Structures are given as C-alpha cells and as structure tokens.
C-alpha cells in the first residue's frame, strides 16, 4: 500500500512525534504499523537523496491518522517504558556482578 492509498483511508494525518533521523523514523513507523496504525514519514524522499538530516530542524516528522493519535502515542510510550525497564539490556544477557 502506498502513501496515497493510506491518506485516502483517513481524513487527516497529524504529527505524532519527531524522530532524530531517518533510521529512527523508520523504526517508529515499523512499531506503529505492527499495531495496524498507518504511519507516514514526512520528507522521506529528501533524506533518501542525501540531504542532511538537519533539513528538519526539529527532527523527522512521523504522521498518523488523527483518529488514531492516542493509540499511536500509547504504542510509543509502551516502547519507551519497555526500553527504560530493561535498562537497554536484552533479557537474555547475564546479570552483572
């Protein structure tokens, strides 16, 4: 499904957050789409042609349908909470002594 098809399915897309760079934006997009929340990366084509990430002074905008904004925020909050809880370590890592 391309971006135009996704936009046709929803009334309005709004900014959910700003990623620091394109790889982080793609990661967020994957998290959201895994939960069936369409996510668009604004300006992705600009990054792909090699312009620096600073083109977006506030980061790379991630857009979601307005009606799914709260659900999308919860997905990113759950991810942030899981990252903080694990302390950045895999559960399979041996405990430090």
Do 37 and 12 form a contact (C-beta atoms < 8 A)? no
Do 11 and 66 form a contact (C-beta atoms < 8 A)? yes
Q: Is 94 a domain residue?
A: no
pLDDT at 80: 86
Q: Model's pTM, two decimal places?
A: 0.66
Both tokens of 68, joined, read: 């799914």
With b for 16 or more beta-carbon neighbours within 10 A and e for fewer, the 19-34 pattern comes to beebebbbebbebbee
pLDDT at 49: 40
Q: Is 22 a domain residue?
A: yes
Q: Is 80 a domain residue?
A: yes
Q: Is 91 a domain residue?
A: no
**What range does the domain containing 39 cover?**
3-86
Q: Is 97 a domain residue?
A: no
Q: Is 69 a domain residue?
A: yes
Q: How many domains does the chain have?
A: 1
Q: Is 17 a domain residue?
A: yes
Question: What are the average pLDDT values for consecutive 10-residue runs of the chain, which has 97 residues?
Answer: 57 90 93 96 56 60 94 93 66 44
């Amino acid at each position: 499904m391309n971006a135009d098809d996704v936009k046709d399915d929803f009334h309005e897309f709004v900014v959910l957050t700003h990623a620091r760079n394109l790889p982080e934006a793609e990661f967020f997009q994957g998290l959201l789409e895994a939960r069936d929340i369409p996510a668009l990366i604004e300006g992705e084509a600009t990054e792909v042609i090699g312009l620096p990430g600073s083109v977006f002074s506030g980061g790379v905008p991630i857009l979601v349908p307005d009606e799914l904004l709260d659900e999308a925020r919860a997905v990113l909050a759950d991810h942030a909470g899981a990252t903080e809880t694990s302390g950045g370590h895999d559960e399979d890592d041996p405990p430090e002594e």
